[in-house]
Structure 1
Amino acid sequence: MHSHDVVVVGGGVIGCSVAFALSRMGASVVVVERDRVGAHASRAAAGMLAPITESPDEGAGFQLGLESLDLFPSLIAEIRELSGIDPRYLESGLLRVGEADEVEPLRARAARLEAHGCRWLDGQEVREREPRLAPAIEGGLWSPREGHVDGFLLTRAYAGAAARRGARFQLGTTVSGLLWDKKRVCGVRTSAGEIAAADVVLCQGAWTGLAEEWGPLHLPIQPVKGQMISLEAPQPELPCVIWGAGTYLVPRDDSLRVGATVEHAGFDVRTTAAGIAALLAGATRVMPSLADCTFREAWAGLRPGTPDDLPLIGPLPGVSGLTLAAGHYRRGVLLSPLTGLAVADWILSGKLPAGLAACDPARFQKSG
């Protein structure tokens, strides 16, 4: 039976970020993944880094997102050098546009977020940034600090950097249970045999809730389906991320990603005519000329949702040796730097940042 300091279950963006942070601090780490690195939600994600404009208020999700966003420039430089993989991080800015009935809420929000660099742009000013916007667009909230990254390449870069620091990846291996010593988790049972470890971190994204079958665990994480489409990039390419009419447009090399639906459909990852139609309708409502773009592909991913849309980061009450890093919903890519560092600090020093109190798994634990 192999033995490591930490077993990380799941090789998505969160699992690979955790593995990198732990190995960087000297821990012996093995990542166990049933498929390939970044095979699911991390590959499907648009890669928006938008804690300011995406958060519904300035609560915990907003604050954690800002803190994690600030980590990206130095993190990207480090993992790019170690892995040789460029995650294509770009601080492009984000323009959230609105029609007549959206102007006042967006204008008020821009004023409220002025300290974060946001400002209101009127109809003429938004068209100076993007002349192809629909005539019905009357203005927008401009957020210069936000941007985007390729979530799949980011995941691979985390994995490559972790491997350079000594982490081991066991791919194509299914975890079927936990190893227990009374109330302490001491490893995992896999399709390739048992792996002993001082600590286990669960990072299986939308599938984390299924681990309730492995012991006395309460893991309120459910899959939330998101369909996306890709169009051939219009010329000239969009200068920034644009969000409006319930869709976001993310420029990516020679393509334009359009997302995303929000569907509670279990583990169904089919793309549907209705989903694709809704995305095309939203995109062309914001920018009518996109109707002439070549349609490239459609896909769907499963976000890990929680009852309050905040992740579960930290230990489970009453269970030693087990840490959660799951339930990030739409913020997995964005929160990956912060999550990796927080989990590594917890496992190696027994401390969690005070700002992560809202993500404590204890908030959902059943009494009695």
Structure 2
Amino acid sequence: MTIQLPRFATPQIQQVIAQRSTDAQQDFAQKIPELMELERLILQHSHIVNTHTEILLESAWGNFPLYSLTLGNKNPTAPTLLMTGGMHGIERIGSQVLLAWLQTLLARLQWDSHLQQLLDKIQLVLVPILNPVGMYLNQRANGNGVDLNRNAPIDAEGRVPLLGGGHRLGPFLPWYRGRKRGKMEAENIALEVIMQRQIFNRPFAAVLDLHSGLGMQDRLWFPHAYRKKAIGNIAEYVAMKTLWERSYPNHTYLFEPQSIHYLSHGDLWDYFYYQSRAQQQPYFLPLTLEMGSWLWVKKSPRQLLNMAGLFNPQIQHRHTRVLRRHILLLDFLLAATLNHPHWLPDEKQAGIFRQTANNLWFNGL
């Protein structure tokens, strides 16, 4: 798979679409309807949404654009919320939740003065489909067979699950990291450009990366994935957890570090976190939403008969329920990003929150 890396002044979306043949357009509509929906929303709301074609992936299956969307305040002092989906192509539900929320957001912006005022004060960046070729192929990896979330140049400090923690045996097995000392995949390089351009230069930035995984409960994970020690901003994570639980005491999420379950090589958010620290960004708080897909499989065991059914709800009413289930969380993150000065801990509170984290997760490590 070859790539073209246009600079920031990327071609207009109309040109990207116009270059597709009728057959390609029909093929995309059948195999990757999420991309068609994203392009429809962009075209319909081009007066509100600033869109970049970050990269055009040229493959044997066609040319796939990777879009980023920006709404709100462009001032570099404004706080930023980044939301991403579709890192693993088979986990379509993450992109679908993000697109459903975006559609609601754009509709509300036509009449909701409160939301208009909120977006006047923060920057919202969306990458709804990070791995369009993988989504088209209905596989976890990208078009080169590389797992994008095992591909960053960072190694685990401890034992990782066999294969699942990332390996270099080859793309014929899932969770392949890519070649040692090789460049990151084009999709990850494009995301790194977005991070440098719009995230690391902000005094406060939060991330929500949407996935689905084989669990019985929805989880909000934060780094580290490569080590069991507490992350530098652990006090801020505990403060956010406390804010969420006090605001919505009837929620159903587990809020916890990934490392208490397993370690993995090449985690993108570990990598970007330390890039942020190197640039002395005071607050960069990435989160991963892992939607518990066993909840859907348990109620519809027939989903075990196909790979997509392991990661996505396939009964219509359950699919619709999932699309609305996480709206409150996404809205909360918008509000928490804007109002971060009101909940970030001071020095005394930070010490208490660090001790809380040790008691909850790290046993004094």
TM-score range, shorter chain: under 0.3
With the length of structure 1 as denominator, give the TM-score of the two structures. 0.24
Higher relative CO (Cα under 8 Å, sequence separation at least 6) belongs to 1
More helix by share: 2
Which of the two has higher C-alpha Rg? 1
More strand by share: 1
